[in-house]
Amino acid sequence: MNDESKTAINSWESLFRAQVTVLRKLNQEFPSGELSLNEYDVLFNLSRQEGHKLRIRDLNRHLLLTQPSVSRLVDRLLARGLVRKESDPGDGRGTFVCLTDEGYALFRRVAVSHSASIARHVGGALTTTELQQLSVLSDKLRRSIDATEE
């Protein structure tokens, strides 16, 4: 194995271990009495979209769950009135998942606490410049993978 490969492997291990450690801490502090972290992730992704909606197949791409798990999760959120489904007027086979006002309000309440936890554990460990570098490098890595799948 050459030095470049060893460096790539060591870098991946470091990134992976950091992500697991931070995620465990964020999970411990997550206000799960109102939402699970996976439910929050759905609401978060919808909240970032224009009109607070996404086709279900596009939502699947944003989440770290399998398609059947996403469908069950969306159904639970639907039953709680946090999202609704709409047919895609441009494609009768497509379905949009839309964030309701109640869902958005709950997302915002939980986001305050979760954001504070992220700021404390991620922002507290790195300088502003390091955080910016981390974002640039993470985006670059993700784009390189996305480009190979197209």
Listed by start position, the domains of the chain span: 30-114
Question: Residue 150: which pLDDT band, with cuts at 50, 70 and 90?
Answer: low
Centroid of chain to Cα 66? 14
Confidence band of 60 (pLDDT split at 50, 70, 90): confident
- At the top level of CATH, the class of 30-114 is mainly alpha
Neighbours of 106 (CB within 10 A): 21
What is the predicted pLDDT for the residue at 146?
75
Nearest-CA neighbor of 99 among 81, 112, 111? 81
Instruction: Please check whether residue 53 is in contact with residue 98, taking contact to mean a CB–CB distance below 8 angstroms.
Output: yes
- Containing 135, the helix (H) or strand (E) segment is helix 128-149
- The pLDDT tens digits of the residues spanning 68-121 come to 788 899 999 999 999 999 987 877 778 899 999 999 999 999 999 999 999 999
Average pLDDT, whole number, for the chain?
91
Percentage, residues of the chain above pLDDT 90: 69
